[in-house]
Amino acid sequence: MKRYVLSLLVENNSGVLSRIAGLFARRCFNIDSLTVGTTEDETLSRMTIVVIGDEQILEQIKKQLNKLIEVIKVIELTPNESISRELVFIKVKADNSTRSNIIEISNIFRANIVDVAHDSLILELTGGPDKIGAFMKLMEPFGVLEFIRSGATGLQRGSTVLNETK
């Protein structure tokens, strides 16, 4: 099983998200994460879907997505030819004895401190799965109260664009 990142251009209608989510559920494909947002063209949305599977499953997913009327284009974002990042907020326990330690590690990872309370910190970090994984691991001993991950989002490198009509 491998991790694949797909980038989709879809029509910006209500129902598209549920249609795509429904397709994954119905065909027993696993979604690791899904992000969706507006694009330079207001009639279109862009989705980044991270899927876990093998080569054969990936092929089926791509074909099934392409078959949906609202899906305009599907491409795979390969690690070499694309960039993808994820945003995470981590709420960590912090008191006078641990706070500076946490800040030091955060600086190394270029994480931002976005909230400070007398017994906790919220850290904001952007990165790929390895960087986020490593940071989370380092935060664990301090006591992670909760966290939220945005799911990966990405683009192809270079001047190629998904919306070829542009």
Closer residue to other proteins in complex, CB, 2/63: 63
| Residue 144 Cα distances to 92, 106, 151, 160, angstroms | 4, 14, 19, 40
> Which CB sits closer to other proteins, 21 or 148?
21
Q: Would you count residue 19 as binding other proteins (CB under 8 A)? A: yes
Contact between 156 and 82 under an 8 Å Cβ cutoff? The reply is yes
Query: Exactly one of 28, 42, 56, 130 binds other proteins (CB under 8 A); which one?
Result: 56
**Residue 64 interacts with other proteins (CB under 8 A)?**
yes
> Residue 33: enclosing H or E segment and its boundaries?
strand 30-38
Query: Which of 38, 60, 78, 107 is the binder for other proteins (CB under 8 A)?
Result: 60
Considering the rule CB under 8 A, would residue 66 count as an interface residue with other proteins? Answer: yes
Give the shortest CB-18-to-other proteins separation in angstroms: 7
Nearest to 7 by CA among 55, 71, 74: 74
| The one among 59, 81, 95, 115 contacting other proteins by CB under 8 A | 59
Binder of other proteins out of 2, 3, 63, 110 (CB under 8 A): 63
Q: Which helix (H) or strand (E) holds 34?
A: strand 30-38
Distance of CA 113 to the CA centre of its chain: 20
What are the angstrom distances between the C-alpha of 112 and each of 61, 107, 109, 124, 148?
36, 8, 9, 5, 15
CB closer to other proteins out of 29 and 135? 29
Under 8 Å between Cβ of 94 and 142: yes
79 touching other proteins, by CB under 8 A: no
> Is residue 26 near other proteins by the rule CB under 8 A?
yes
Interacting residues toward other proteins by CB under 8 A: 13, 15, 18-19, 22-23, 26, 56, 59-60, 63-64, 66-67, 69
